[in-house]
Amino acid sequence: MKSTKDNLQIAVYNSECTLNNKINKKILEHQQKYQWEVKKILWFIKEVDMIHMLTENFFDLIFLAVCRTHMEGFLVAEQVRLMHRGTEIIFISDDKEMVYKSLDYKPFAFILKAHLEEEIFEVLSKYIKKRVSESKRVNLPTTTGKSSILVERIYYIESFAHYLEVVSSDGKIKIRDNIGKWNKELEVDGFLRIHRSYLVNQRYIYGLCSDGIMLTTGEILPLARGRRAEVQRRLRKGE
């Protein structure tokens, strides 16, 4: 699983030494097993220091510890989203209720401290896989031939009877195909089946709302009641 983009820059915001040691150990283990390179890892215990560093440096991946009594990690996340939209955020907490607040900052994943050692390895694997898949293209069989599109540019796919509408940053393309087939093809790239008629690229999910799922584009798509729990679980783990 060698990434197409090596020399990653990672930052960790947390004041708990024991937790920092566990994070560092797992990053190094994963790095050695899958042969990807870390240019540097910086550790911060004060949010002001980390926010200052964000003005001078870009980080590919940031781990932020949050809890009810220490919410400063969300202040850091807010600055990350203002300055570096390409940075992925992984929240770590011992409080499940923090999951919902974390969605405001479009995190890559949310890890509970109780499951840190097993989940961080899984999340890192998905992160490296995502970096590799960013250059992946798929061919769409249109009526005029085949149209090639980058997977990362697809917002969602909507099903209309025997047709699909692929909505992306490049526009809309209508094809004759089955949504189940594309669900199997794109699941590994972070797409979620939120409804029998909708397959959504997880990276464009802004958060859950009463009417369904809101995308970063501002659109709201329906979320089937029976799929809500699974979608919440997938969003939390960054699958």
**CATH code of residue 62:** 3.40.50.2300
Please give the C-alpha separations between residue 128 and each of 133, 186, 215, 233, in angstroms, as whole numbers. Answer: 9, 16, 23, 20
Which residue range forms the structural domain that includes residue 206?
137-231
Per the prediction, the chain carries an average pLDDT of 87
Domain tally, the chain: 2
Question: What is the pLDDT averaged over residues 191-219?
Answer: 90
Do 37 and 85 fall into the same domain?
yes
How far apart (Å, rounded) are the C-alpha atoms in residues 104 and 124? 21
CB-hemisphere CA count at 13 Å for 69? 2
Q: Does the structure show a pLDDT above 80 at 134?
A: no
Structure pTM?
A: 0.59
Cα(159)–Cα(140) distance, rounded to whole angstroms?
14
Whether 12 and 121 map to the same domain: the answer is yes
How many Å apart are CA 119 and CA 90, to the nearest integer?
11
Q: Is residue 79 part of a domain?
A: yes
pLDDT at 42: 93
Query: What is the Cα–Cα distance from 111 to 122, expressed in whole angstroms?
Result: 10
Residue 229: C-alpha distances to residues 202, 225, 236 (Å):
15, 8, 11
Per-residue pLDDT at 2: 37
What pLDDT is stored for residue 120 in this prediction?
92
pLDDT at 204: 87
CA distance 107 to 50: 18
pLDDT(95) > 50: yes
Tell me, yes or no, whether 106 and 162 share the same domain.
no
* Per-residue confidence (pLDDT) for residue 1, from 0 to 100: 36
Judgement on whether residues 149 and 192 belong to the same structural domain of the protein? yes
Q: What is the share, in percent, of the chain residues with pLDDT greater than 90?
A: 41
In the three-class reduction of DSSP (H, G, I as helix; E, B as strand; rest coil), residue 113 is classed as helix
24 and 126 assigned to the same domain: yes
What pLDDT does 179 receive? Answer: 94
Q: How far apart, in whole angstroms, are the C-alpha atoms of residue 67 and residue 35?
A: 33
The pLDDT tens digits for 137-183 are: 888 887 777 788 888 889 999 999 889 999 998 889 999 899 999 99
pLDDT at 149: 87
- My answer on whether 99 and 150 are in the same domain is no
Residues 70 and 87 in one domain: yes
Strands in the chain per DSSP E: 8-13, 38-44, 61-65, 88-93, 109-112, 137-142, 145-150, 154-160, 163-168, 171-176, 191-195, 198-201, 205-209, 212-215, 220-221
User: Can you tell me whether residue 46 is helix, strand or coil?
Assistant: coil
